[in-house]
Chain A
Amino acid sequence: AQSVTQLDSHVSVSEGTPVLLRCNYSSSYSPSLFWYVQHPNKGLQLLLKYTSAATLVKGINGFEAEFKKSETSFHLTKPSAHMSDAAEYFCVVSGASGTYKYIFGTGTRLKVLA
């Protein structure tokens, strides 16, 4: 079965400092992994996805994530936080083949301090 764990429910960083949002996954298959961002009262927007190509995935707005199979991790990073990055971030793993399901993490709320 597939599962995903976001290790921090809240993360606070100062503007201009690096961002690290942690995600561990469990999958019986070669997973597809995604990061989505949700701003208040909005839907989810795709940041990036991993689909067994390059292990370092670059996304929008300067975010990137590295797939580490040995650590079953897919952490999201950004070198320098901006105030507009304040939002909730979701790590997502695709379900097993044939299930058409996507399993969402519980989310990490990122706060950016001026």
Chain B
Amino acid sequence: KAGVTQTPRYLIKTRGQQVTLSCSPISGHRSVSWYQQTPGQGLQFLFEYFSETQRNKGNFPGRFSGRQFSNSRSEMNVSTLELGDSALYLCASSSLQGASSGANVLTFGAGSRLTVL
């Protein structure tokens, strides 16, 4: 079956612009989470969605937002881009159903590499 698809794979923006990244999860997966990966900070959790509801959010400013659609596809948006937002943004989906289960495996997409100039 198809894996997690992230688009675009690469993009370049300038400071002050905004960007929208898309993630299509594995068919049947209803949980989608987003991570930011940078050389200095490593992998940091952004937020997680399940059935169109944000269930948890990491420690990022309000410029970072996301949403999930009824088909489980998710988007994240970063407004007023800063140089420090340059990163690989990873999306992961899980078949997590309702109550939390830490045993659920995250399946990652290849990521969207954002460069802010």
User: Chain A: residues with CB nearer than 8 A to chain B?
Assistant: 31-32, 34, 36, 41-46, 49, 51, 90, 94-95, 97-107
Contacts and interface: CB of A to CB of B under 8 A. Distances in A.
A92 to B, nearest CB: 8
B110 A100 contact: no
B90 A43 contact: yes
Contact of A107 (B35, B42, B102): B42
Contacts of A106: 42
Interface of B: 4, 6, 31, 33, 35, 42-43, 45, 48, 50, 55-56, 58, 90, 92, 96, 100, 102-103, 105-111, 113
B43 A104 contact: yes
B110 to A, nearest CB: 5
Nearest to B50: A100
25 contacts: A32-B102, A34-B105, A41-B110, A42-B110, A43-B108, A44-B90, A44-B92, A44-B108, A94-B103, A95-B102, A97-B102, A100-B33, A100-B48, A100-B56, A100-B96, A100-B100, A101-B45, A101-B48, A101-B56, A102-B33, A102-B45, A102-B102, A102-B106, A104-B35, A104-B42
A36 B107 CA distance: 10
Contacts of A36: 108
Contact of A31 (B100, B102, B107): B102
A74 B86 CA distance: 32
Given A43-B90, A104-B43, A99 B108 contact: no
